[in-house]
Structure 1
Amino acid sequence: MTALTEHGGAAALAEPPNANRMSLAELQQHLNLVQNIKDQLMKQDVHYGHIAGSQKPTLFKPGAEMLALAFRIADGYDIEDLSSHGHVRYRVICTGTHLATHEVLGVGMGEASSEEEFFAWRDASAREFDAAPEEDRRERQAWGDGGADVFVLQVRTNPADVANSILKVASKRAKTAMVLNVTASSDCFTQDLEDMPLARRSGQRRDAPEDKAPQKPAASAGRTQPGFCDQATFDRKKAGWRKAVESGKPPQDLITMIQTKEQLSDEQKREIQAWAPTGATTNEAA
């Protein structure tokens, strides 16, 4: 707050000697502490991570909790239920207060919904997939082990089954935003993982190139031979594999991809080859 004083016959704005603000030295000390916590105490992929496409590290929940502990910030939550029929949605405001003085330091807001891709779909077995209505199922192309592209069978999630998870995510987003605001650490970190584009946190490896098609893994010398795929496992996975062939993937390419992880019997290979559309070449060696 400022006071109006008279000096030399002219009005001037003067600040009281104990203005409630940080000096440059205190501000520098604060920023140094945030950086030291990151460099000396936090662990990559535990407290923060590097996500493709982001210039700054992404702050994870454990990292936000460490900063809150260091600066003695207590968190309180106001939850607004915005759910409607067949749809779960929460908006959360997290208020940070000082543990000793109970002074309000700042707030952060977070929201989560069952309509988000992360919550709307879940992986399904072939039996669940076949039993689901057409509008409640899909095949999602994703990155498999070694960079191979695979098709994942998915069905829509019942919103009630994930309501608690949705509330937790909204609360976590709110707390992360509050900690970043209160500690002024946005120059070191960006928002939590859930606020990154879906392709960077689901269906791709973190190091997968975003602008390139999935590549087959290169054979490595001395690689341990994968074990054989038992018939029960084959029967469970074959619906998704067959969809890939019917969508145009050559059977031999599919066999090669599968055998990077598990060996197929001759009978299983022949069954996959038989999925090829009539008249299509199988590329099988004579």
Structure 2
Amino acid sequence: MSNVNEVQVQEVNALSLIESTNLQSIQGSIQKIKQFQTLVQSQFTQNHDFGVIPGTGKPTLLKPGAEKLIMLLGLTSEFEILDSTRDFDTGFFQYQVACRLKKNGEVMTEGFGSCNTRERKYIKQDPYTMDNTVLKMAKKRAMVDAALLVGSLSDVFTQDIEDMDLAGNQASAYQRTYTDRDGTISQAQAKRLYAIAKGDAELCKSVMSKYGYSHSDEIKKTDYEKICQEVEASVTQG
């Protein structure tokens, strides 16, 4: 019986909240949000402020875009490490970070991000060189999360798609930073392959498997053009 009463009280409270709300004011706020979203979309630069992966529903907000958004709104960012592990015996490092966005000293919103050396993109690397890297990644994720919240942009941008490969798995750190020190293709090249396939991830995976690859971040540069040509031929024949 007590549970029923609690539900009834919640329903009454919710109804009271709606009845006491100025609907005209809400309509004006929604209109302003839409105008702000349109402004952001028109002023942000692709491949700098946001990135687009063919076949995905929404572009992903990148760190420069999050920083620009925070500046546009006249906010300052403040970070706090909520939890961390720095195990030099096992080589495991992890950080959980909060990013608080403030205006005139008042917290407007906060976002959260985490990262650790056991994520797939770091697992093959020397963990003792990744301590600062995973901290920075946790801070970046927290900042992007906070920026999306404060700008009401979650229906315009998504988060962390830049960390994904064609199969929806985490890309290597080298891909993310567009380097090729491990001899594999960059994230930009992986995107090109996906575009050649007209967004057909299954086709990409099928062709990659012929060369012994299960993920795009494994593709060697020496095999890249052959894979692209075979994918293109399949698209043309199909």
Q: Residue 194 of structure 1: CA displacement? A: 5.2
Deviations 1:9-66 (A, max 9, x none): xxx887599xxx9642233123312221221x21111111112442011000011111
* Structure with the largest fraction of strand: 1
Partner amino acid for 1:189? F
Q: Residue 199 of structure 1: CA displacement? A: 5.6
- Counterpart mapping for 1:216-231 below 5 A: none
Partner amino acid for 2:79? Y
What is the match of residue 169 of structure 2?
Answer: 198
Percent identity of the aligned residues?
28
- Counterpart mapping for 1:1-286 below 5 A: 15=20, 23-39=26-42, 41-79=43-81, 80-84=83-87, 85-98=90-103, 101-121=104-124, 157-193=125-161, 196=164, 197-198=168-169, 202=175, 205-209=190-194, 210-212=201-203, 213-214=206-207
Q: Cα gap change, 1:200/1:81 in structure 2, threshold over 3 Å: closer, same or farther?
A: closer
Partner amino acid for 2:202? D
RMSD, matched Cα: 3.1
Q: Residue 92 of structure 1: CA displacement? A: 0.4
Q: Cα gap change, 1:198/1:30 in structure 2, threshold over 3 Å: closer, same or farther?
A: same
Deviations 1:182-202 (A, max 9, x none): 111101100134554336675
Q: Cα gap change, 1:189/1:179 in structure 2, threshold over 3 Å: closer, same or farther?
A: same
CA distance in 2, matches of 1:22, 1:59: 29
Matched position secondary structure for 1:178: helix
Deviations 1:235-255 (A, max 9, x none): xxxxxxxxx8xx8xxxxxxxx
**Structure 1 alignment gaps of length 5 or more:** 1-11, 122-156, 216-243, 248-256, 262-286
- 1:94/1:107 contact within 8 Å kept: yes
CA distance in 2, matches of 1:193, 1:208: 16
Partner amino acid for 2:123? A
**Structure 2 alignment gaps of length 5 or more:** 1-15, 176-184, 195-200, 213-221, 227-238
Partner amino acid for 1:94? C
Q: Residue 93 of structure 1: CA displacement? A: 0.8
What is the match of residue 274 of structure 1?
Answer: none
Q: Residue 82 of structure 1: CA displacement? A: 2.7
* Structure with the largest fraction of helix: 2
- 1:52/1:200 contact within 8 Å kept: no
State TM-score, norm by structure 2: 0.61
State TM-score, norm by structure 1: 0.52
Partner amino acid for 2:99? C
